[in-house]
Amino acid sequence: SSTIAVASRQRSGSTGSAPDAARRPDKPNRVRRSSSTGDITHILNNFDALYQTLELRMHKYGETHTKVGQTWNHIGNLHFRNQHWKAALKTYQNATLCTDPHVRAAAYRNIGTVYWTMMDLPKAKYHLAQALEIYQSLSHSQALTGELANCLYQMGLVLSLQENLDGALQALYHCRRLQEECGSAMDVARTLDAIGKLHVRFGDLDDAMDCHQEALALRQQSGEPRLLSSFSNIGAVHRAQGNIQEALFAFVTVLSVQKTELAQSPGPRLSQDVGDTLVTIGQLYLDQEQPSEALRSFREAIHCYEDAGLERSDPRMQQVFSQVA
């Protein structure tokens, strides 16, 4: 989930933080209290309506008021969802001029999210640190604790990409503690998976397995229908531990679900995902010295990659062709 901004649940009176369409933002000033959720959603997904709201609020409250900063953040969120990175950065920068520290923190975190999406990791880290400094200076309500936790999660991912594994692990464990206070089970599961992947990089495979299995249990208890990431993570750890049969079971489970989804909703992204899983299964069969089963998986992977539109020059195609040569 590399281009994905981290979502958080907020009470009414949102700071417009974290570019995410599912967030409950503050109601623009010109909307009556009786306005439906559909009306508000329309405004938050319409540039003209947002800029009209911004103009009214600036005229009424001044440029640094909370409501103005919130609106700048909402405009930035819409730019973000449309992948207008430069426009998103500019509007979020305007939100940092707000006198409300909650809105400023949200704006800095949003800027960090954009730079993270653009893989400009130094700037992402700088702006996330700005947000963390503000969040940590404020008294914590449940909503603010969730914001801080999400900011720590993003910082953990940035530090991981920068190979600062100790810093990443520290940020993610702090995030997990806060999420257990106020976050949903899904938030905790997501963080546990990130921690588990770090433990793999440290070579702490037992700790990694504990994290991924706990994440799977949380998703199952919450009725989460999509468990593919958990099974994939567990399979990867089993493979690193040399437990090939257990790894095969995990990835065959993933493949079964992926094929069902592909049959229901054909598309290049799903075809590529199925191909990736088939390659992993083929490699596991090679580890078990079952070359005929491995060859069958590799050939099926080639067909999936072709359905996904991959060229022969694509690294994935080159890898699988080298296996069947």
Nearest to 228 by CA among 254, 246, 248: 254
pLDDT of residue 26: 35
pTM confidence score: 0.79
Q: What is the pLDDT of residues 238-253, one digit of tens each?
A: 999 999 999 999 999 9
Q: What are the helix (H) ranges across the chain? A: 37-44, 47-61, 66-81, 85-95, 101-117, 121-137, 142-161, 165-182, 185-202, 205-221, 228-241, 244-264, 268-287, 291-307, 315-324
Question: Using the 8-state DSSP alphabet, how is residue 286 labeled?
Answer: H
CA pair distance 82, 50, nearest whole angstrom: 15
Q: What is the pLDDT of residues 49-101, one digit of tens each?
A: 999 999 999 999 999 999 999 999 999 999 999 999 999 999 999 999 999 99
Q: Which of 16-20, 97-101, 160-164, 294-298 has the lowest mean pLDDT?
A: 16-20
CA pair distance 92, 21, nearest whole angstrom: 16
> Please, what is the average pLDDT of the chain?
87
Rg, the chain, Cα only? 22
Cβ–Cβ < 8 Å for 55, 48: no
Domains and CATH numbers, the chain: 43-246 (1.25.40.10), 247-324 (1.25.40)
Nearest to 302 by CA among 280, 265, 281, 272: 272
